[in-house]
């Protein structure tokens, strides 16, 4: 089967080192197997995303030398233009009796959530799952606009991650009924990512470990909608010397700053070294790393990023 991989960034700001690592390894995974690379723009949130930021993102990828075979700024690969597909999947879930409106405010959601033992995330406990029609009408009459959740089964689900190995969650207690449409009408990432990976024929998903805990819910949603889940490959987090996860707040690792300091080959070579693909942080083009790329070389533990 031909590998179809993707990079699916959100144009909500400039890319940072973690995004670049995901982009490079998704690209190497595809290119080392003669596959097809898709670039999808996850611009669902109109408050945070813009076409200008998406243009910048595409230009940053080009500067790095990472190319793609399908997508980019083409309208049909930008999620903001794909509502009809999310709507259709939502209706399918409604027909299956799996959707219910949730009227909780953010504060109520947090109060009605159980802390998730493993990572401190909160799990929705189903506060609105059994509201009567009359209760819903009363809440609507108060002017509350619901978000919509999907009801997950009381099932344990194991994802066989291609890099991290088996990862198991009990869907109802570790994940909980999750939002597929926000109260402002914006489609939720969890629904959109599943629909788009399926519709775009993506069978390899390479991305950061921060999304590992979302993968059982996504695999379940794929199956529920009648799709085959992709093979997931999650990358270790990038951390600083104190073991803290690097984030968008580390401005010195944002693409604007990195581009001012490095050539594309220096940056790619450094990332390739951090990812275990080459033994030294020497300059390289993405193409020069293809022949030495192997998943077995990529670390599983967090990757320490020293000073730049
Ligand atoms: N759009 C997501 C992000 O930028 C990535 C989604 C994914 O790779 O599944 O973090
Ligand atoms: Zn609720």
Q: Which residues of 200-221 are buried (b: 16+ CB within 10 A; e: fewer)?
A: bebbbbbbbbebbbbbbbbbbb
Residue by residue, DSSP assigns 10-32 as --SS--BHHHHHHHHHHHHHHHT
Query: Of all atoms in ligand 1, which is nearest to the CA of residue 208?
Result: 8
Q: Which atom of ligand 1 is nearest to the CA of 207?
A: 8
Contact 151, 101 (CB under 8 A): no
Per-residue pLDDT, 23: 98
Contact at 8 Å (CB) between 66 and 9?
A: no
CATH 3.90.800.10 residue window(s) in the chain: 85-189
Ligand nearest to the CA of 214: 1
**Closest C-alpha residue for ligand 1 atom 7:** 8
Give the atom of ligand 1 at the shortest distance from the alpha carbon of 218.
9
Q: What is the mean pLDDT of the chain?
A: 94
**Residue 241: predicted pLDDT:** 86
- Ligand 1 atom closest to 6 (CA): 8
C-alpha–C-alpha distance, residues 286 and 27, integer Å: 8
Is pLDDT of 168 > 60? yes
Confidence at residue 116, expressed as pLDDT on a 0 to 100 scale: 55
What is the C-alpha separation between 70 and 26, in angstroms, rounded? 14
What is the mean predicted confidence (pLDDT) over 47-54?
A: 97
β-partners of residue 88 are none
* pLDDT score recorded for residue 279: 97
pLDDT > 70 in the chain, percent: 94
Residue 90 phi/psi, 5° resolution? -60, -45
pLDDT in tens, 6-32: 999 999 999 999 999 999 999 999 999
277-299 residue pLDDT tens: 999 999 999 999 999 999 999 99
- Joined tokens for residue 308: 């730049």
Answer whether residue 118 shows pLDDT above 60: no
Nearest to 270 by CA among 301, 227, 229, 308: 308
Architecture, CATH, for domain 4-80+236-304 = 3-Layer(aba) Sandwich (3.40)
**How would you label 254-288 residue by residue, b for 16+ Cβ within 10 Å and e otherwise?**
bbeebeeeeebbebbbbbbbbbbbbeeeebbebeb
Ligand 2 centroid, distance to 57 Cα (angstroms): 36
**108/33: higher pLDDT:** 33
The CATH classification number of 85-189 equals 3.90.800.10
Tokens of 36: 């097809």
Q: How many CB atoms lie within 10 A of CB 68?
A: 22
- CB proximity list for 111: less than 8 A, separation 6 or greater: none
Query: What percent of the chain is predicted at pLDDT more than 90?
Result: 88
Q: Which of 277, 303, 276 is nearest to 292 (CA)?
A: 277
In 3-state terms, what secondary structure has residue 81? helix
85 against 247, higher pLDDT: 85
- Ligand 1 binding site (Cβ under 6 Å of any ligand atom): 8-10, 42, 193, 207, 211
Q: Using CA atoms, how far apart are residues 224 and 231, in angstroms rounded to an integer?
A: 17
Query: Which position has the higher pLDDT, 109 or 112?
Result: 109
Specify the domain boundaries for CATH 3.40.50.620 within the chain.
4-80+236-304
Q: Name all contacts of 221-227 with Cβ < 8 Å and 24+ positions apart.
A: 221/150, 221/190, 221/191, 221/194, 222/194, 222/197, 222/198, 224/93, 224/96, 224/98, 225/89, 225/92, 225/93, 225/194, 225/195, 225/198, 227/194, 227/198
pTM, entire model: 0.95
User: Does residue 97 surpass a pLDDT of 50?
Assistant: yes
The pLDDT assigned to 253 comes to 85
pLDDT range class, residue 115, cuts 50, 70, 90:
low
Q: How close is the Cα of 91 to the center of ligand 1, in Å?
A: 24
pLDDT tens track for 196-243: 999 999 999 999 999 999 999 999 999 999 999 999 999 999 998 888
Best residue among 211, 231, 238, 247 to mutate for probing ligand 1, ranked by most atoms within 8 Å of CB: 211
Instruction: Report the C-alpha gap between 197 and 189 in whole angstroms.
Output: 12
| Six-digit token string for 86 | 């999310």
How many Å lie between the centroid of ligand 2 and the Cα of residue 112?
8
Q: How far is the CA of 194 from the centre of ligand 1 (A)?
A: 11
């Amino acid at each position: 089967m031909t590998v179809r991989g993707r990079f699916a960034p959100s144009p909500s700001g400039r890319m940072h080192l973690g995004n670049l690592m995901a982009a490079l390894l998704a690209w190497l995974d595809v290119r080392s197997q003669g596959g097809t690379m898709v670039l999808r723009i996850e611009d669902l949130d109109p408050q945070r995303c813009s076409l200008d930021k998406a243009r910048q993102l595409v230009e940053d990828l080009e500067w790095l030398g990472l190319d793609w075979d399908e997508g980019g700024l083409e309208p049909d690969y930008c999620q903001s233009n794909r509502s009809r597909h999310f709507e259709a999947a939502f209706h399918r879930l409604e027909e299956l009796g799996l959707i219910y409106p949730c009227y909780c405010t953010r504060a109520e959601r947090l109060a009605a959530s159980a802390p998730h033992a493993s990572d401190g995330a909160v799990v929705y406990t189903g506060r609105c799952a059994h509201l009567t029609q009359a209760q819903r009408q009363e809440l609507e009459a108060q002017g509350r606009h619901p978000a919509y959740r999907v009801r997950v089964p009381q099932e344990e689900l194991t994802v066989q991650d291609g890099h991290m190995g088996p990862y198991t969650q009990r869907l109802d207690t570790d994940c909980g009924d999750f939002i597929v449409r926000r109260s402002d009408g914006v489609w939720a990432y969890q629904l959109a990512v599943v629909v788009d990976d399926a519709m775009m024929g993506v069978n390899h998903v390479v991305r950061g470990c921060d999304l590992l805990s979302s993968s059982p819910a996504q695999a379940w949603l794929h199956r529920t909608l009648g799709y085959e889940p992709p093979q997931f490959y999650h990358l270790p987090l990038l951390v600083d010397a104190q073991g803290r996860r690097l984030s968008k707040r580390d401005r010195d690792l944002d693409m604007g700053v990195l581009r001012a300091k490095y050539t594309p080959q220096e940056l790619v070579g450094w990332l390739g070294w951090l990812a275990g693909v080459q033994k030294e942080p020497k300059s390289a083009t993405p193409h020069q790393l293809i022949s030495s790329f192997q998943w077995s070389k990529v670390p599983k533990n967090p990757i320490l990023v020293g000073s730049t």
